[in-house]
Amino acid sequence: MPGLNVIVASANGERFYAALEAAAAAAALGRPARIFLQGPAAALLRTPVAFAGDAARRAAGQPDLVSLIAEATAMDVRLVVCQSGMALTGMIASELVPQVRTGGLVSFLAEIGDADRLVVY
C-alpha cells in the first residue's frame, strides 16, 4: 500500500497539527506514514511540546499537540527531526520527545517508495 510522507518546513504549530492528523488518518487506513520536521520546524518537538492552539483544541474536545503526537506514534506514524534543524534551533537530542528519531532530508527522501506520496506543509 502506498505510504504518506510529509515534510513540515516551518515552525507553525497549526501546520504540524494538520500534518499529524493527515498521517494518523493514513495510518488508520493501513498506510505507512512518516513526518519529517525540517529546519526551524524541529523546534516543534522540543519538550515540553505545546502550541498556541492547544487550549482551543482541548475546549473543542480534540487532543492537544502532545496528545496527538502520542496518538499518532501509537499508530506507528514515524517522526523524524532534521539534524540540521536541531543545530539551527540550538537543540540537542535529549530535548526531543522520546517518540522521534533524528535524520537528514536525503535519508528521508531515499526511503520514499515509487508509489508513495509526498506532501509538504
Q: Which pTM value belongs to this model? A: 0.95
Dihedral, CA atoms, 13, 51, 40, 114, nearest 10 degrees?
-40
| CA–CA dist 93, 20 (Å, integer) | 21
Q: Which residues of 79-93 are buried (b: 16+ CB within 10 A; e: fewer)?
A: bbbbbebbeebebee
The residues that bridge with 78 in the sheet, in sequence order, are 34
pLDDT of res. 1: 85
Give the least confident one: 53-57, 95-99, 114-118.
95-99
Position 33, amino acid: A
| CA–CA dist 5, 9 (Å, integer) | 13
Class of domain 4-120 (CATH, top level) = alpha beta
In the chain, where the domains are located: 4-120
